[in-house]
C-alpha cells in the first residue's frame, strides 16, 4: 500500500512552468463550455428523453443541470485553487492521492474518447441527411458501423471517422486555432437555436403537455426504467464536457478568476436553452411522436409546424453544434493525457509538447486516431451510459475533494470559494449518486471492466514511473 495515496502539493504545482501558451479569456472559456454542452442533447437526445419522461423531460434536464451546477461550483473552487491542466484528475491528486487520481484520469479518458466517438456518430447522421437534401449520396455500407441498423448492410461510418481526424488536426496545431474555430461555430449554432425558438414557440399547444409526467419520478414501462430520474440519467450526457473547461487552466489568462466564470456561465446559458427547447418541442408535438424521429427529433417539430425551410438551417446548426462537442471533448482528453504523462503515470510520449505548435502533438494524434476508429467501426448506441457513469464518479470525487481540502488545507488561497460548503458538495454527491442509480446494470459491468484495465496499467507502469515515486 506504500505510495498508493501519495499526494501532490499545491505550491509545487503552481511553481512548475508550463510550455503551453496562455491565450484564453472568460468569453473563450464560456464558449468552450457551451461548445461542449450544447449539441447532442438538443439535436439527438431530446427524442429518447421525451419517450422516457414525457413533457417532464424539462424537469429531467433541470435535475441534470442542478447536479452539474453544484458540481460546477466545486470544480470552480478547485480551478481557482490549482489552476493547472488536468481537471478532476489533478484535483483528486491533491485531495486523495495517486491511485485515486489515476482512476479518475482513466475515467476521464473514457469519458472524452467514447463521448467524442458517440457524438461523431450523431454528427454523421445529420451530415448524411444534409448531403441527401443536396442530392449527394454516400454508399450505404460507409454510413454506419456493422450491425447498427437491423436489415441494412453497413461496415464503416466514414463521415464519423473523417470528422474526428479533422478536429484532431485542428487541436494539434495550436490553442489559438482551436479557440477561433470553436468560438465561430458556437456563435452560429446559438443563432440557429434562437431562430428555431422564435419560429416555433407560437405553435405550442398546452394540451400536449398533459399528462406532464406520464411515468412519474421513477417507474418501469415495457420492462425498462422510465420517468424523470431515468430520463435525467440519459440527458446527463448532454452536460458532459463542461468539466473540460477546467482542463484548459494552463492555457488561460488569470485562471483563478476566469475559469470559475467560464464554467458557471456556460452551465447557466446551456441550461436555459435546454429547458426552453424541451418545453417547446413537447408542446408543439405529442411526446409519443418522437418514436419516429429518434435520430433527429427537431425534424418532428418542423414537420408539425410546416416549416420545412428551417430544416436546412437546423441541420447546419446541428452539424456545427456536434462539431464543437467533439472538439472540446478531444481537447479535454489531450490535456488529461498530457497531465498524466507529465506526472509519469503515462509514457512520456503523451506529454511531449511540440516546439512548433506548443501542444501535446503526439498524444493528441494517438488518441484522436483511436477515437476516429471507434466512431467508424463500433456500434455506440448502447455505450453513452458508460460515459455517464465515469463522469458521475469523477464529479463525486471532485465534490468530496472540496470537503476534504476545506478541512485539511484551509490555508490554501482560493480565488473562488464555492458557496454553502459543506452543503453544496454534499448535494452534488447526492444528485450524482441518484443519477448513477438510474443507469442500467450492464453499464456497471462495463465500467468495472474498464476500471480493471486501468488498474493493470497503473500497477504495471504508472506506480513505478510516477514522478512522485522518483522523488522518494
Per-residue pLDDT of 309-324, as tens digits, reads: 788 888 888 888 888 8
Pick the closest to residue 210 from 24, 55, 408 (CA basis): 55
Reference 44, options 230, 270, 267, 277; nearest CA is 277
Tens-digit pLDDT profile for residues 339-386: 899 889 999 888 888 888 888 899 999 989 999 998 888 765 555 666
Share of the chain above pLDDT 90, in %: 23
pLDDT of residue 381: 53
Q: Give the separation between CA 278 and CA 292, rounded to whole angstroms.
A: 17
281 falls in which pLDDT band (50, 70, 90)? very high
> Residue 280 is placed in which grid cell?
417547446
Spatial separation of the C-alpha atoms in residues 300 and 51, rounded to whole Å: 13
As a three-state string, the secondary structure of 327-362 is HHHHHHHHHHHHHHHHCCCCCHHHHCCCCCCCCCHH
- Indicate the helix (H) or strand (E) that contains 13: helix 10-15
Residue pLDDT, tens place only, 217-253: 888 877 777 889 888 888 877 787 777 777 777 788 8
Instruction: Give the pLDDT confidence of 249-275 residue by residue, as tens digits.
Output: 778 888 778 888 888 899 899 999 999
pLDDT at 155 over 80: yes
What is the per-residue DSSP string for 353-420?
Answer: PPTTT-S-HHHHHHHHHHHHHHHHHS--TT-HHHHHHHHHHHHHHHHHHHHHHHHH-TTS--SS--TT
pLDDT given for residue 369 in this prediction: 94
Dist. CA 45–CA 42, nearest whole Å: 6
Quote the DSSP letter at residue 252.
Answer: B
Question: Rounded to an integer, what distance in angstroms lies between the CA atom of residue 105 and that of residue 336?
Answer: 7
Length of the chain equals: 472
Looking at residue 384, its pLDDT comes to 60
Q: Mean pLDDT across the stretch 79-102? A: 85
pLDDT at 8 over 70: yes
Q: Which domains does the chain have, with CATH numbers?
A: 24-467 (1.20.1740.10)
Specify the 3-state DSSP secondary structure of 220. strand
Q: Average per-residue pLDDT in the chain? A: 85
Cα end-to-end distance, the chain, whole Å? 15
Distance (Å, rounded) from C-alpha 38 to C-alpha 242? 10
Global pTM value: 0.83
Work out the number of other CB atoms within 10 angstroms of the CB of residue 132. 11
Cα four-point dihedral sign 24, 27, 31, 34 = positive
Distance CA 22, CA 29 (A): 12
19 versus 268: which is more confidently predicted? 268
Instruction: Give the CA count within 13 Å in the CB-facing half-sphere of 296.
Output: 21
**Residues 268, 68: contact at Cβ < 8 Å?**
no
Give bridge partners of residue 157 from the DSSP assignment.
143
Per-residue pLDDT for 17 more than 70?
Answer: no
What is the tens place of the pLDDT at every residue in 163-204?
999 999 999 988 777 888 888 888 988 998 899 999 999 999
Cell digits for 399? 465534490
Three-state secondary-structure class, residue 299: helix
User: How much of the chain exceeds pLDDT 70, in percent?
Assistant: 95
User: What one-character DSSP code corresponds to residue 226?
Assistant: E
- Cα of 17 vs its chain's centroid, Å: 28
Amino acid at each position: 500500500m506504500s505510495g498508493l495515496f501519495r499526494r501532490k502539493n499545491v505550491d509545487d504545482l503552481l511553481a512548475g512552468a508550463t510550455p503551453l501558451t496562455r491565450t484564453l479569456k472568460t468569453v473563450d472559456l464560456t464558449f468552450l463550455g457551451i461548445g461542449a454542452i450544447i449539441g447532442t442533447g438538443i439535436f439527438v437526445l431530446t427524442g429518447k428523453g421525451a419517450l422516457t419522461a414525457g413533457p417532464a423531460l424539462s424537469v429531467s434536464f433541470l435535475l441534470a443541470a442542478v447536479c452539474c451546477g453544484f458540481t460546477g461550483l466545486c470544480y470552480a473552487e478547485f480551478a481557482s485553487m490549482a489552476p493547472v491542466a488536468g481537471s478532476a484528475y489533478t484535483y483528486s491528486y491533491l485531495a486523495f492521492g495517486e491511485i485515486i487520481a489515476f482512476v479518475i484520469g482513466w475515467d476521464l479518458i473514457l469519458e472524452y474518447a467514447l463521448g467524442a466517438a458517440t457524438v461523431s456518430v450523431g454528427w454523421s447522421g445529420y451530415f448524411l441527411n444534409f448531403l441527401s437534401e443536396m442530392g449527394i449520396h454516400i454508399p450505404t455500407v460507409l454510413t454506419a458501423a456493422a450491425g447498427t441498423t437491423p436489415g441494412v448492410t453497413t461496415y464503416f461510418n466514414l463521415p464519423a471517422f473523417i470528422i474526428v481526424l479533422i478536429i484532431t488536426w485542428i487541436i494539434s496545431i495550436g490553442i489559438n486555432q482551436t479557440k477561433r474555430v470553436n468560438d465561430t461555430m458556437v456563435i452560429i449554432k446559438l443563432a440557429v437555436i434562437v431562430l428555431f425558438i422564435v419560429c416555433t414557440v407560437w405553435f405550442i399547444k398546452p394540451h400536449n403537455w398533459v399528462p406532464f409526467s406520464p411515468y412519474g419520478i421513477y417507474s418501469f414501462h415495457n420492462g425498462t426504467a422510465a420517468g424523470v430520474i431515468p430520463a435525467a440519467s440519459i440527458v446527463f450526457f448532454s452536460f458532459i464536457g463542461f468539466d473540460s473547461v477546467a482542463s484548459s487552466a494552463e492555457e488561460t489568462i488569470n485562471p483563478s478568476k476566469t475559469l470559475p466564470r467560464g464554467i458557471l456561465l456556460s452551465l447557466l446559458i446551456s441550461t436555459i436553452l435546454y429547458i426552453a427547447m424541451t418545453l417547446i418541442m413537447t408542446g408543439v408535438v405529442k411526446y409519443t411522436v418522437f418514436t419516429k424521429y429518434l435520430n433527429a427529433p427537431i425534424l418532428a417539430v418542423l414537420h408539425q409546424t410546416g416549416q420545412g425551410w428551417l430544416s436546412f438551417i437546423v441541420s447546419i446548426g446541428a452539424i456545427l453544434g456536434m462539431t464543437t462537442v467533439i472538439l472540446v471533448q478531444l481537447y479535454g482528453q489531450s490535456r488529461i493525457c498530457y497531465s498524466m504523462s507529465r506526472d509519469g503515470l503515462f509514457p512520456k510520449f503523451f506529454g511531449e509538447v511540440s516546439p512548433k505548435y506548443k501542444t501535446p502533438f503526439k498524444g493528441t494524434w494517438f488518441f484522436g486516431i483511436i477515437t476516429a476508429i471507434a466512431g467508424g467501426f463500433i456500434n455506440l448506441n448502447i455505450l453513452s451510459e458508460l460515459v455517464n457513469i465515469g463522469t458521475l464518479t469523477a464529479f463525486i470525487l471532485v465534490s468530496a475533494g472540496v470537503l476534504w481540502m476545506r478541512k485539511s488545507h484551509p490555508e490554501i488561497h482560493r480565488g473562488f470559494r464555492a458557496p454553502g460548503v459543506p452543503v453544496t458538495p454534499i448535494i452534488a454527491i447526492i444528485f450524482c449518486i441518484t443519477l448513477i442509480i438510474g443507469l442500467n446494470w450492464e453499464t456497471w459491468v462495463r465500467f468495472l471492466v474498464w476500471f480493471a484495465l486501468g488498474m493493470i496499467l497503473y500497477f504495471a507502469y504508472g506506480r513505478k514511473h510516477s514522478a512522485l515515486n522518483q522523488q522518494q
